Amino acid sequence: MRLETIAVHAGHAPDDSTGSVTPPIYPSTTFERNPDLSYRGGHLYSRYSNPNRASLEACLAQLEGAGAAACFSSGSAATTAVLQSLEPNAHVVIPEDAYYGTLKLVRDIFGPWGLRFSAVDMTSVANVERAITDRTRIVWVETPSNPLVRVVDIAAIARLAKQAGAWAVVDNTWATPVLQRPLALGADIVMHSTTKYLGGHSDVLGGALVAHDESHALFTKARAVQQAGGAVPSPFECWLTLRGIRTLPWRVRAQTDNARRVADFLESHKRVEAVHYPGLRSHPAYDVANRQMSAPGAMLAFQVRGGRDAAIVCTNRLKIFTRATSLGGTESLIEHRQSVEGPDTRAPENLLRVSVGLEHPDDLVEDLDQALR
């Protein structure tokens, strides 16, 4: 099946008892055993599994062309499970411009527990190669990156990781399976914050890990960490995410078309210092993005001439864009990223991160134009 069909049908089936086309929500935390002590639906206790979560996991695995998925209570919870799967004194290579929550986990939470890490500019494969040691267990890739919208060559990094006996884990939140398939490029594990494009409506929190199959060593360990620790999404959150996925391909493509229009406009605006968007030929990794992505996505960042104050004033003048964190919803969001990330950020003081939504592109361009002028 093609992606649009998978998004509509994967994880969905008419309810056996009622024939309901829309799946019911199963809030139960426990499940009755049969007289022979087996479980009729394979579910024991909701920390281990739940019918709604199982449906969402089946859908996510199919979307990524994989054989297994595990859904978590957030993207950060999924990342935490991966890091908790490592032995003491293990080493991780991570992008210097990764999502600040991921860097915080590696540096501030797991650093004191003995995790070693190297944060490098992964747009250079040579940098990654130099950073890998005999203790490296994971090479963590985030592409496009948050918030600098850098693009990393997944296939090249995955080859390096494999040669070193390490796992390549790719945060595919921004690109989604619609635009990028990391497992097909050699990655071992794909991570998603399902809060973003997969849910798609800014009303659900969740995360996921996807692997080629259930037997993958890192996936098995992360699943065990989850089942013991309980970082699971609620049945309702799984139900909402599965509902959101049904329109995922169409939303992402429409948002990408809008983002192209916005990026072209911003690149030509005299009040804009720089635009970071892999769909522009001026982007340093334009060729890499074209090679591994089917389209450049709906996330971009731009720098306003005049520094921090000018950037913040611009956000205050906007009428359609909402000043808010997060991304991937139907509404367009904008934020001054440096003030969100704090003193350790790599975001320039005049940088604004934009999640382009489903509004009419002319309205978005006109709103940005009047705010910048």
Q: Encode the chain (373 residues) as per-residue pLDDT tens digits.
A: 899 999 999 999 888 889 999 999 999 999 999 999 898 889 999 999 999 999 999 999 999 999 999 999 999 999 999 999 999 999 999 999 999 999 999 999 999 999 999 999 999 999 999 999 999 999 999 999 999 999 999 999 999 999 999 999 999 999 999 999 999 999 999 999 999 999 999 999 999 999 999 999 999 999 999 999 999 999 999 999 999 999 999 999 999 999 999 999 999 999 999 999 999 999 999 999 999 999 999 999 999 999 999 999 999 999 999 999 999 999 999 999 999 998 888 899 999 999 999 999 999 999 999 999 9
Tokens of 360: 């009419």
Spatial separation of the C-alpha atoms in residues 20 and 159, rounded to whole Å? 46
| DSSP E strands, 131-249 | 136-142, 167-171, 189-192, 207-211
Q: Strand 322-323 vs strand 136-142: parallel, antiparallel, or unpaired?
A: unpaired
Task: Say if CB 28 and CB 49 are below 8 A apart.
Answer: no
- DSSP annotation of 23 reads P
The amino acid present at 47, given as its one-letter code, is R
Strand order in the sheet with 91-95: 68-72, 207-211, 189-192, 167-171, 136-142, 91-95, 116-120
Which among 76, 36, 29 has a CA at the least distance from the CA of 53? 29
Tokens of 220: 């098995």
Spatial separation of the C-alpha atoms in residues 192 and 301, rounded to whole Å? 21
> For the chain, which domains are there?
3-245 (3.40.640.10), 249-372 (3.90.1150.10)
Which among 7, 123, 100 has a CA at the least distance from the CA of 61? 7
Which among 316, 277, 302 has a CA at the least distance from the CA of 352? 302
Q: Which residues are 182's β-sheet partners?
A: none
Any idea which residues carry the catalytic annotation? 47, 99, 171, 196
DSSP output for 127-161: HHHHH--TTEEEEEEESS-TTT-----HHHHHHHH
Q: Distance of CA 288 to CAs 151, 192, 322, Å?
A: 7, 21, 31
pTM of the model: 0.96
Task: Say if CB 170 and CB 143 are below 8 A apart.
Answer: yes
